[in-house]
Structure 1
Amino acid sequence: MTELIDLVLKLSQDLQQIKFQLQQFQKSRLERFTEAWIDGQDVMQTLHISKRTLQSLRDEGTLPFSRINGKFYYKLSDIEQLLESNYSHLNKKSNGSK
């Protein structure tokens, strides 16, 4: 009889773990769909770049995109990552001496 109780308890724990994993999976799927996207016009205005420069970033694979009916969309996180990867901090002395 105790073996049966132990088996039911183990099964209950396994079901709780599966339920938790399913909830985490659902949560991550929702997060993927709630990420902000902007169109090419907004990217050009934000980065102060031309249409041709934006096209070059796409063609080179530098900036991932999605295309729907001829209109391009970009994830804000990808634009942020592009800016971070090109960030340069130069230490220049203010008095000009070495």
Structure 2
Amino acid sequence: MKNAIQITFSEEMLDEFTKAIKEAVKEELPKYQNSFQKDWLSTEEVMEMLSVSRRTVQNYRDEGKISYFQHGRKILYPREGVEEFLRKNMIKAYR
């Protein structure tokens, strides 16, 4: 034997309930965004991250300086690979 409860909401109550949930999610989402950080970056994101042009990113790819994945015309870069490139090319302070 199943126990079932049926709750009926008016259209207005349902709208208010939906609105309250959306607001709560908007409030909480920023707290978790860093934990959902993307593992793959687009060319535009790499350009912004390195402050270089599209052609420079392509040169880095062609020279094997940064790793990438290509599916058809779409090119993606592993975040870890771009961060490694930055670490390898960082000039340490000498003082």
TM-score past 0.5 threshold: yes
Of 54, 57, 61, the residue aligned with 2:57 is: 54
Distance in 1 (CA, whole Å) between partners of 2:94 and 2:66 is 28
Same amino acid, percent of matched pairs? 29
Instruction: Provide the rounded CA distance (Å) in 2 between the counterparts of 1:77 and 1:88.
Output: 19
Q: Which has the higher helix share?
A: 1
Runs of 4 or more above 2 Å deviation: none
Matches within 5 A, 1:34-49: 36-49=39-52
The answer for unaligned runs of 5 or more in structure 2 is 1-37
TM-score, structure 1 length as denominator?
0.55
Question: TM-score, normalised to structure 2's length?
Answer: 0.56
State which structure, 1 or 2, has the greater radius of gyration over its C-alpha atoms: 1
Unpaired stretches in structure 1, ≥5 consecutive residues: 1-34, 93-98
